[in-house]
Each structure stands twice: as C-alpha cells, then as structure tokens.
Amino acid sequence: MGGLTRNKTLSIMALGAMIGLLLLPIVVSMPALAGGGGTPAAGGPPPDVAKKADTPEAAKVEKGRDVYYKTEGIVSGAPAPKTADNPQFYPRYNFESRVLLWFANQQHLYYGSFVLAVPIFCMIIEFMGIISKDKAMAKKYDQLAYDFIKISLTAYSLTAILGGILIFTFLTLYPAFFGYLSSIFRPVMHIYALLFVAESGTIYIYYYGWDRMKEGLLKWIHVSMSVVLNVIGTTLMFLANSWIGFMMSPAGVDEQGRYLGNIWHSIHTALWNPLNVHRLLGNMAFGGGVVAAYAAYRFLASKTDEERAHYDWMGYIAMAIGVAFLIPLPFAGYWLMREVYAYRQQMGITLMGGLLAWLFIIQATMIGILFLSANYYLWQAMGRMRGAEKYQRYIKYMVFVLVCGFLIFITPHTMVMTPTELKAMGGQQHPVLGNYGVMSAKNGGINVIITTTVLSFIWYARGNKVPMVSWARFGNIFMGCFFGMAYINIIWLAIYGYYIPANVRVGLSVPQVATTLSCLFFMTALNLVMLKGAKHSGAIEWGKISVRSQYALIMLATAFTWMMGLMGYIRSSVRLFWHVNEIMRDNSPWAYTHTTGFAANMISFNVLFFWLTILFVFFLATLGVKKAPVEAKVTVPGRVPEPATH
Amino acid sequence: MKLILWAGAIVGAIALVVLLVMVGGLLPPQTIKLVEGYMPMQLLAELAFFVGVFALISYLLKQNGLGIPRFWQGLSFWIFILLYLTYRIYPPIPFSVRALFGTVAMVGVFMWVSGAEEDWKEFKKPILNVLDAVTPFHKALRTFYLIAIPIILWGFSYNSFLPNLDEPIELRTVHPAPPASTKVHGKTFVLQTSSNPYRVSPEGKYDQEYTNTLITEQSMGRLLKPDANPWDPKAEGYLKFVREGGEIFFQNCHFCHGDNLNGRGLHAFAFNPIPANFTDPGTLAQLQETFVFWRVAKGGIGLPREAFPWASVMPPWEQHLTTDEIWKVVLFEYWHTGYYPRTWD
Amino acid sequence: MEIVTNPLFWLALLGLGVILLAFVALKKKALLNNVYVAVTISLLIAVAYFHIVDHYMMDMQGLDYWYLFRK
C-alpha cells in the first residue's frame, strides 16, 4: 500500500521534472531573444538603450516605432520587400499559386490539428483507465487510448510530409514573402523545428513503449509522457499561430516592416491569444469528430456484435469529447471577433457585415448542423438503453425548439433575391425576418440551441436510471424550473436588445452566455448528485444503436472538417490584399477575394481530399492488428461507463 | 380536463381553417394583424401554438381510435410549414430564404420521425409497403410512381433548360467596411473618432445620452416625446438642429427615401434596388453616425471596392450640401426613426 | 421600480429561497416533495438567480442592465 503511494509521488515528481526540463530552454531563450534584453512581457526597450541613443556613438543606430505596441526599438531588419507582379517575386506555374498554397496549407492544418488533438484524448482516456477501479473497465480504456494513438501515428508522419510540402510551396511560389517572414521569425522557426524533433521522439517512445510500461510506476511515467507530448504539441501550435497572428495583426516591426529586435512583440500580437484558444478548442472538437467518424466507419463495417459494441462505445466517447469542446467554441470565437473589432474595426466589418458576411451565414449553418447532429445522436443513443423511452416522446418539442433557434441563427440579414422579389418586399431587409438577422436575435438562437443540447445530455445521462435520493421530486422540479427560467432569460435578453442602444446591447451576450453556462455546470452537477445510487432500469446495450446514429457521427465529422476549412479561409482572406496586414502588400495577380462559390468548391475539395486520405490512414490501422476484436471480447459486455465528460 | 383538451383542439382547428382560407387567397394575410415591432416573436409564438395544437389533435384522435399514421403526420406538418411561410407572412419571403427554411424544417421533421426506433419503423411502413407492393393497391401505386417520377424529373430538367429572362441574382454587400477616414470639403474626418457636432446637450457639449432621451418613441407608430417637439418655435439646441435637418431632408432626400423614411419615396420604385429603409433595424441602428455621414457625403459613386456591384444611385451629397447640413440630416434621420447610433465603447 | 433595479433585492430574494429550502429540507422533510412548495422555492431561486446573473454580468462590463427601466 505504502509502495503504491510512494510510486505515485515519485511519478508526479518525474512528471514535474520532465515538464520543467522541457520548459527550461524556452524560458531561458525568451529573454535572450528579446533583442535589447528587456523583459519580454513589459515590452519596450530597456531604459539604458533609450539613454544610449543620445550619446554620439549610438547616433547612427536607427530607431523605429512599433506599429502595435507603440514602443521604440532599434531597427535590426530590412523593410518588408515591395513586391511587383513578376516571376522574381512570384515565380509561378501556369496556375494560380494561391490555390496551390491554399491546398497545401489546409491539408497540413487538417492533419496537424488531428495529431495535436488525439494525444490529448489519449492522455485523458489513459488517465481514466488508470484511476478506474474496475479492472475490466481500466483495460478497456487503456485499449481505447492505444487505438487512438495508433491512428494518430500514421497521421503524424503524414503531417510532417505535408508540412514539408507546405514549406516547399512557400519557398518556390512566394519566396519574397516567406523570406521576409522567416527573417523576423528566424529563432522561432528554429525552436519550432527542435520542438518537432522532441515531439517525434516522445510520440514514438510513447507508442512503442505502451506494453513495456503498463505496470506500476512505469505506467505513471507513461502517462506523464503523454502530458509532455501534449505540452510540446500545444507549444508547437502556439508558435505556428504566432506567424498567422503576425500576418493579421503585425507587431514588433515599424511601419516599413523593419524588425525592431523584440521577438516577443512579434509573437504576442493582438490576435495571438484569442487565436490560440480558439484553435486549441477547435482542434479538440475536430479531433473528436474524426475519431468518432472512424468509430462509425468501423461500426458500420463490423461483422460481430462484440466489434459493434466496442466501436459504438468508442464513437460515443469521441463524440462526447468533441461536443464538450464544441460547446465553449462559439464563446472563444466571440472573443476572437471582439479582439478583431478592437484591433481594426474595418477588419471586423469586412468579416461580419461586409465582404465576407455571406461566408458567416454558411458558417452559422454549419454550426447549427453540428449541434443538430449531436442532439440527434444523443436521442438515437437513448435507443440502446431500456427505460429511456420516457424521454423519447419529448423529442418532437426539442426538435421544434432546436429548429426555431437554428432558423433564427441562419436567417441572413440581407437576403438573396430576384429583383421581382425585392420589389415585392420593398427593400433589402424583410420587416419580419430582418429582425432575426441582427446579432441580438442570433445570440438568442445559438444559446437556445446550446441549452437544449445540455438538456439532451442530461436526459441521456439519466436515460436508464431512476434517481433514488429522497428529494428526487424536488430535484426534478428544480431542474425543470431552472431550465425554464434559463430559456425565458435567454429569449428575454434577445428581445430586450432591440430596445436599448447598441453599446449597451453588445454587452447582453455575456449574461446570455452566463445563463447557458449556468445550465451546463449547475444542472450537470445536480444531475450527478441526484443519480448517486440511482436504480438502473436496464443496462446500456452497447452496439444496439441505430445505423442512423452512426451516419449522424459521420455528418458531425464532415461538418467539422468543412467548417474548419471555411473559417480558415475567412480568417486568411480578411487580410484582403495584404501579405502582412498594412505592412507588406500582396502584388501578385491573385490578391483579389475569391467568389463565394469558388471558395465553397475549394473547401469541399479540400474536405474530400482529407477524408479520402484519412480513410487510407484508417485502413492502415486495421491492417496492423487483427486481434483487437479478440481483446474486446475479454471485456465485460454491457458494462456502463460513465459519460466521459458530462 | 377532457373538456379543456377538446376546447383547445377546436380553437386550434379554427385557427388552422383560418390559415387555410388565407392560403386559398380568400383572406389577405394581414387579416390577423402582424403587429409591428412584435412580429418576430409573434411568428414564433404562432408556430409554437400550432405545434401544440397538432400534438393535441393527434393525441385526441388517437384516444378515439382515429390516430393519424406517423408518415402522414410528418408529411402534412412539413407541408403546413411551407404553406405558413408562403402565405402567412407579409411581405412575401424571397424564395432563397423559403428554400432554406423549408430544408431545415424537413430536416427537423426527419429528426422527429426518426428520433425513436418505433416511430421510425412506423414512418417507414407506408414507404416500404409501396416498395414491396404488399397489396394490389400498393402495386398500382408503385407502378404509378415508376412512371410519374421520371416524368416529374423530366419536367424539372425541361424547366431548367428553358431560357430565363430574369435578371441574375446578385450578392450585394450593403454595408461595406468604411474607410478609416474620409475627406469632405477639404476636412478629414476619422470615422472611428469623429462625432456629430450637433448632437449636443443644452450646454453645447457632445452628449449622446441626452439626445437619446429626446428621439421619437417607437411603439405602435412613432410618437413625439413630451416637451420634445422640434417644430416648437422655442425649441433650442439639439431639437432645433433636428428641425433644420428635417427641412434639408424634405428638400433633398424624401423624394427617394420617403416621407416616413422607409425607403418608399415618390421615385423609389424607379430604382433597383429601392432606396434604403431607415426604419428597418438593420440599417441606421446598426451603423455609426460617422458611417452614415460618410455614405451621405460620398453617395453611390463613392462606394469602396468591396461594395460590389455598387448598386446605388445616391448622389454624392457633398456636391450639394455643406458639411454642417449633412450632419444635421443625419441627426434628423436618427431622431425620426427612433434609433440610437451605434457606438463601440 | 427602484427596488426592482437594485441587485440587493434580488440577492435577498435568492437568500430567502435558499433559507426556505434549507428550512424545509431540515425541518419539514415531508413538504420538500410537495409540488407547490417545490415549485415556489425553485422559481424563487431561479428567477432571482438569473436576475443577479443579468445584473452583474452587465455590471462587470461597466454597462447598466436596467437601462430601459431607468429611462
């Protein structure tokens, strides 16, 4: 007993040491990189540098003013190249270079986010396996985590290959721009490359050491390794984000684009952190979707009940993780948009109200589809529990609420119409539906959808259980009242927004979100307490789920992929004709914004290509081990795992 | 209890009949008024009411052994939604939006009928019956579909090949991103920081809070606030400027934008698209005052590149009005519509 | 009107709801599952809670949730 505790302490210490070692070079290198040696976070040149400027020997040192931080720094780089439309700056094939780059970038991003997200799942699931008291369950979780990392290993090498292709595309087609970017981010790019090596090493030890390190202390070290793996992976992504952040909202350079010696300024631009959070959550949701689709594919292809049970369960876990990260995603997106508006109002209007507004309608539709699919899956999943019938007859009302929220969420502010219809309507805005086109109503719509999703989750969680606590009735009534008031509050705030000035109105989204989150946290917590010692009206019969549910999972994954492509396109094209916003102009013949139709086709092509290649990856994963179903057989069928995160 | 249920069902049935009469064109959709300002919620409430009524009627019929099969429930509900959207809402919704709503409604109906396994089986039964030709009637039906579906498809194809004389649909960017600053009569206005020089408190200081309390009230129509009549000869400050702006508006703008500012002036329908409707919550209320100033000053010809296809014939008013006059007109427009200009902090 | 726009009023209401709940739960356990009592307490807590959320979430941003009611 004592040995076990000691092992745990040791392993936690080992974990701490590994993280510390890993972070050390970054911590050490940061101030060293930051030009004049000033503290990175505080920004600005240290006082001694400013003083030196007055002395004659430093007089020839030219100074520049940071475009964003407004601090002064010593010019230590060439100005951004002024390109012209010729093969010297833009070497090209007989084809639009931008589309080639788009393709390479998007594929790299798909695989990149997949291999960043899956180790995070692995970490969570492996950890759940370790802390699980039930031996059979523990083994099942462990096997699942192993399955996950197996898929991601092939995807990992593909990511590296695609990354190489991406760099070559940049170097050959946009040498001037890439040269400029790498002149600023030179040290970051080296750290990036080194971290990539570290990531590869860790992931291989992690994967191949799985069986060797399955007992006692070694197992804990193994889990710690997954933590290290994820720390590296996340840092990698943050570094890559700093480049796109720099392109959108440059900092650390003067007006001509000359580097001012403080790399932290160039990394920590106005949009860096919102992008980091948004991408991290997005990757997790996306990864969950892809794994769920993999499980659905294996479910549909299964020939035995054991296989079906295993993949049904896997799909459920992956979906739950995906949706858990999908729920906060709109709020992260909201934060990003706020920061965009704060950075440049014009950029915000181009996104939300101007040139790219149509793409946002498509995005709204995709978000709606995601939530609808998730709800549909949960209702279908109730079919595998006895006793969930009592909730199924309310499905029609939930559909109604969801569809109403969805319709409001996607109603365009300016409608597509023929000139005849325009005359009949008497204006670009419809007097009734036009009201749904503004932010106030849309916030209401999406919050209603999310709250309903939470409700679906709660019903699913108690599908086959009857609460036995003495205050069960009060609990149910309280839950009902709370949800009811939450709906009323959300809708009321949406209506209230029409009656108050815009500057007060924009603030209303915060209480709306708080209402939704209150439902999420309080009600799931209350539900957990109520279900303690609950009576089971029947076991969950894994594998006895309708085929439709699996198609819903595939739909979910496809919608994720499509939306990721779309949002990436929007984020990138908001720079309009700039390589680096307001610093380096894009003078290639492809500096225009594509039509919505072309963009949609291009995104669809990227999605299709990704799914075809990842199907190949899935296929490879099935080649390796044919013994998986046998192992699955060992586990106790029909055991009820707790819903992963809810 | 039973009595209440029946009463509810009868009320619902009457409402349904009224709707059907509207569909038949015997009653205009405005018979049951869509109240201005409350319409969006009214629409949702009406739909919710009908959903309740359908559930009730279906329940009662089932109690009395006359249950409607799921298949027909689903189909008829979807048709109901389509009819409702087409005939109830006035002015008519453009086809693109109706198609969007119809599709989502179809997805919703599908989610409903396939939500539980029993429902789905029941829903599929009539379809499978026809496909398997279980009775001679079903067989005849199947044969009929075999002939009818290709003909319908042929009809669609034929239609799509017909030459279309309508103008093509344009995706128009109505509110393009404004420039950072604009130059009017030699003076540069930074859009993010400029303010209307006439939006002032009695002391002559810029004060949006104060002026907001004096704009017209939006309820059933537009009402003057007590003691806030710009046409009172004693009116001073903000209200006086509103009056002056109004005079400029009626001398220059109302021919197109209408005397109610709803974009339906005398000449409005000569233009395509028709002029902007300021009473719509999606126009003035969404914009900063400086944005409106910029648009008035530069007109259609001054639209930026992204405002494709630059479908505006508004004159650049800087050639006809002074800067002060433009600011006063903008002031009047906000006052009359009862909207507050957007601010960013 | 003024009292309604005061967050303390809603906090008091929330407190009342919680106290009632505690009282019933500890002293009159049988009443807890009575529909009317349960609905009253739940509504009291939920309504007060959401008003508090609305008020403080707006207050946090330096905005006034009761804008329309004060005019």
Quick one: tokens of A600?
Answer: 């949609």
CB contact under 8 A, B40 and A427: no
Tell me which residue range forms the domain holding A451.
Answer: 386-536
Residue with the two structure tokens 């941003």:
C61
ipTM of this complex prediction, to 2 decimal places: 0.94
β-pair type (B217-219, B221-223):
antiparallel
Q: Does A435 reside within a domain?
A: yes
3-state secondary structure of A117: helix
Co-location of A518 and A580 in the same domain: no
Final residue belonging to a domain, choices A536, A554, A577: A536
Pick the residue with more confidence: A569 or B15? A569
Co-location of A93 and A179 in the same domain: yes
Highest mean pLDDT among A323-337, A550-564, C56-70: A550-564
Domains within chain B, CATH numbers bracketed: 2-161 (no CATH), 181-337 (1.10.760.10)
Q: Which chains touch C (3 or more CB pairs under 8 A)?
A: A
* Chain A: closest CA distance from residue C23 (Å): 14
- Confidence band for C1, pLDDT divided at 50, 70 and 90: low
How far apart CA B100 and CA B110 sit, in angstroms, is 15
pTM, whole model, 2 decimals?
Answer: 0.82
Mean pLDDT on B80-99: 87
How far apart CA B50 and CA B13 sit, in angstroms, is 9
Co-location of A327 and A208 in the same domain: yes
CB contact under 8 A, C63 and A499: no
Quick one: tokens of A270?
Answer: 């106005």
How far apart CA A148 and CA A154 sit, in angstroms, is 11
Which C residues, 12 through 51, put their C-beta within 8 Å of a C-beta on chain A? 25, 29, 32-33, 35, 38-39, 41-43, 45-47, 49-50
DSSP sequence for A54-101: TSGGGTTS-EEE-TTT--EEE--SPPPP---SSTTTS---SS-HHHHH
Co-location of A528 and A547 in the same domain: no
CB atoms within 10 A of CB B209: 9
Q: Residue A504 has what pLDDT? A: 77
Co-location of A344 and A465 in the same domain: no
CB contact under 8 A, A427 and B272: no
What is the Cα Rg of chain C in Å? 15
Co-location of A304 and A186 in the same domain: yes
- Confidence band for A37, pLDDT divided at 50, 70 and 90: very low
* Chain A: closest CA distance from residue B13 (Å): 20
- Nearest chain A alpha carbon to B270: A423
Residue A448 and residue A404 in contact, taking contact as beta carbons nearer than 8 Å: yes
Mean pLDDT on A474-483: 92
Quick one: tokens of A610?
Answer: 């990704």
Residue A546: alpha-carbon gap to chain centroid: 29
Final residue belonging to a domain, choices A536, A570, A589: A536
CB contact under 8 A, A514 and C49: no
Torsion of CA A274, A276, A281, A287, to 10 degrees: 150
**C61: Cβ–Cβ under 8 A, 6 or more apart, which residues?**
A507, A510
**A338: Cβ–Cβ under 8 A, 6 or more apart, which residues?**
none
Co-location of A358 and A449 in the same domain: no
- Distance between first and last Cα of chain C: 11
Residue A253 DSSP symbol: B
Co-location of A448 and A564 in the same domain: no
Pick the residue with more confidence: A154 or B317? B317
Residue B193 DSSP symbol: T
Final residue belonging to a domain, choices A482, A503, A536: A536
Q: Residue A550 has what pLDDT? A: 94
Is the CB of A397 inside 8 Å of chain B's CB atoms?
A: yes
Q: Does A413 reside within a domain?
A: yes
Co-location of A492 and A595 in the same domain: no
CA within 13 Å, CB half, A261:
21
Co-location of A315 and A266 in the same domain: yes
Per residue in A79-113, pLDDT (tens digit) is 999 998 888 899 988 889 999 999 999 999 999 99
Q: Residue A266 has what pLDDT? A: 92
CB contact under 8 A, A435 and B95: no
- Confidence band for B115, pLDDT divided at 50, 70 and 90: confident
- Confidence band for A41, pLDDT divided at 50, 70 and 90: very low
Co-location of A461 and A555 in the same domain: no
Where helices occur in A327-436 by DSSP H, the ranges are: 329-343, 345-352, 357-381, 389-392, 395-410, 419-425
CB contact under 8 A, A474 and C67: no
Residue A537 and residue A465 in contact, taking contact as beta carbons nearer than 8 Å: yes
Mean pLDDT on B314-328: 94
Q: Residue B177 has what pLDDT? A: 81
How far apart CA B190 and CA B180 sit, in angstroms, is 6
Co-location of A404 and A551 in the same domain: no
